[in-house]
Amino acid sequence: MLSIAYRMVGSFSEAEDLVQEAFVRLHQAGDVEAPKAWLTTVVTRLAIDHLRSARVRREQYTGTWLPEPVLADPAPDAAVRAETLSMAVLVLLESLTPVERAVFVLREAFDYGYDEIAEIVGKSEANCRQLAARARKHVEAGQPRFEPSREQREELTRRFVAALQEGETEPLVELLAADAEFYGDGGGKAPAVGRIVQGAEAVARMLSGFARVGRRRGARIEPAEVNGEPGIVAYEDGRLVAVWAFEVSDGAIHAIRGVVNPDKLRHLAG
């Protein structure tokens, strides 16, 4: 339930609230014949309602909005498509309608049948097929990139951390795609890049600047798996201050999405 809710709303803390509310309703409902199916329906519908109310808040968000990062799938399962957890896909899903997002998540991530999805979202099966096709086309058009080899991803992350610690621009440029982009989310509560930084040279210079500031503050950087992608976490005085997720393809980093908004890191503390 938490895995569905997180993919729906892009916030771990909000997903927890939705799941808790669903279990409260299950308790109040008493004897339910198929509790898993019942909970899936309730969680999905709560998430749809939540997204409708959250849209205005996200449009008014200070700076770039990114999902709350997670360092592991809330409900790891070999049958669940890992790509649907990535920052790239979650950002793309923000532009779908809440019902389109629900249909996409249930179909593409969890392989629910269209008959099941139709009952959950209150639409016809034919309509759900149309919604799924439209959502899938939108996500594929965004072309999120994935590196299939875990070993290659881990090696790239190791080299990135080493280059960042060196503080030199050139080693970072070598790891970035020519069209690399950096997105920063501070939410107005932490210093963050207010615009998308584009191009390997520009991104590398900015990263070198971050590294210099981090060294002065005694920051510690560690490789991490962020939303199923390679990434890093940064600590200052034992406190988590940043989480970056990398979008990797063809042995290079095409995008970095960095979250420094402390509200979005609170669930990772400790």
Check pLDDT > 70 for residue 79. Answer: no
Percent of the chain with pLDDT over 70: 95
Alpha helices in the chain (DSSP H): 2-9, 12-29, 35-59, 87-93, 98-104, 114-121, 125-141, 150-166, 169-175, 200-217, 262-265
Position 30 scores a pLDDT of: 86
pLDDT digits 0-9 by tens, 211-242: 999 989 999 999 999 998 899 999 999 999 99
Domains and CATH numbers, the chain: 2-141 (1.20.140), 150-268 (3.10.450.50)
Q: What is the maximum span of the chain, computed from C-alpha positions, in angstroms?
A: 63
pLDDT digits 0-9 by tens, 50-76: 999 887 677 788 889 999 999 977 766
pLDDT digits 0-9 by tens, 82-130: 788 899 999 999 999 999 999 999 999 999 999 999 999 999 999 999 9
